[in-house]
């Protein structure tokens, strides 16, 4: 059975997701771990469940989503994947981070593969479909896991709206808004997993798009 674990990491509280089977392979979405305690917390979980992380995949290339990419790729020997249209963002991640007063724990590695719309990311019995949803950044993607109805939207969505398009690389166009809304109003029953905990309602209301 495929299981899901969420960690909210770094000062911006970006969610890192692990999809895994106990004792088997795992896919890591958005390597947002930043400090030693977060890397340790993740490692303890990986060891406890005897996981082999074979893929590190990113919803997009903003610095707060790739803080731990360099260290985690090296630690687990996993392949790092992102959409090619966000290559410029990860190349400038160090400067983005510096602008907000942060230092990356390690340089963001060059991608081993580029994610493409409609392609699948597979690890063991786990597979995710890639959906390109430019807007929040040029290379923003969502990951759909049909067996459980999970959709990992990154920053493309947050509660009750589309995601921000005013950050580096963001595009505010009719089409970018449309891509977000098409997720939001998708008629099919889906469970949504947002990658940005900081947009969760703080007053305890149930988030309509968060599982
Ligand atoms: Zn972002």
The 10s digit of each residue's pLDDT in 103-153 is: 999 999 999 999 999 999 999 999 999 999 998 899 999 999 888 888 898
DSSP for 138-193 reads TT-EEEEETTTTEEEEETSEETTEEPP--STT---SHHHHHHHHHHHT-SS--EEE
Q: Look at residue 170 in the predicted model and tell me its pLDDT.
A: 60
Q: Look at residue 29 in the predicted model and tell me its pLDDT.
A: 97
Secondary structure percentages of the chain, helix, strand, coil, to 5: 25, 30, 45
The residue extents of the domains of the chain are: 3-199
First to last CA, the chain: 18
Centre of ligand 1 to C-alpha 140, Å, is: 9
Q: Look at residue 112 in the predicted model and tell me its pLDDT.
A: 97
Centre of ligand 1 to C-alpha 193, Å, is: 15
Q: Which residues of the chain have pLDDT under 70?
A: 157-211
Centre of ligand 1 to C-alpha 23, Å, is: 32
Centre of ligand 1 to C-alpha 40, Å, is: 24
- Tally the C-alpha atoms within 13 A of residue 10's C-alpha that lie toward its C-beta: 25
Centre of ligand 1 to C-alpha 50, Å, is: 31
Return phi, psi of residue 73, to 5°: -60, -40
Q: Hey, what's the torsion of the CAs at 51, 197, 130, 104, to 10 degrees?
A: -70
Q: Look at residue 182 in the predicted model and tell me its pLDDT.
A: 45
CA nearest neighbour of 153 among 122, 197, 206, 111: 197
Q: Look at residue 193 in the predicted model and tell me its pLDDT.
A: 52
Paired with 123 in beta bridges are: 126
For 118, left (φ over 0), alpha (ψ -120 to 50), or beta? left
Q: Look at residue 61 in the predicted model and tell me its pLDDT.
A: 96
**Residue 98 belongs to what H/E stretch?**
helix 93-99
Centre of ligand 1 to C-alpha 196, Å, is: 8
CA nearest neighbour of 79 among 51, 58, 103, 107: 58
Centre of ligand 1 to C-alpha 66, Å, is: 10
Overall CATH class of domain 3-199? alpha beta
């Amino acid at each position: 059975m495929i299981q899901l674990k969420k960690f909210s990491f770094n000062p911006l509280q970006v969610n890192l997701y692990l999809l895994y089977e106990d004792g088997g392979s795992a896919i890591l979405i958005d390597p947002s771990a930043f400090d030693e305690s977060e890397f340790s917390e993740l490692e303890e979980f990986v060891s406890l469940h005897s996981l082999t992380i074979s893929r590190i995949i990113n919803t997009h290339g903003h610095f707060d989503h790739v803080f731990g990419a360099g260290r985690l790729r090296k630690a687990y020997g996993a392949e790092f994947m992102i959409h090619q249209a966000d290559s410029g963002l990860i190349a400038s991640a160090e400067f983005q981070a510096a602008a907000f007063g942060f230092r990356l724990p390690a340089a963001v590695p060059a991608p081993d593969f580029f994610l493409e719309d409609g392609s699948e990311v597979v690890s063991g019995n786990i597979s995710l479909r890639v959906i390109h949803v430019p807007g929040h950044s040029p290379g923003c993607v969502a990951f759909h896991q049909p067996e459980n109805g999970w959709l990992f939207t990154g920053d493309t969505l947050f509660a009750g709206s589309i995601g921000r398009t005013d950050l580096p690389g963001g595009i505010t166009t009719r089409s970018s808004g449309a891509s977000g809304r098409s997720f939001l109003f998708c008629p099919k029953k889906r469970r949504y997993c947002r990658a940005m905990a900081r947009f969760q309602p703080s007053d305890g209301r149930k988030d309509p798009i968060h599982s």
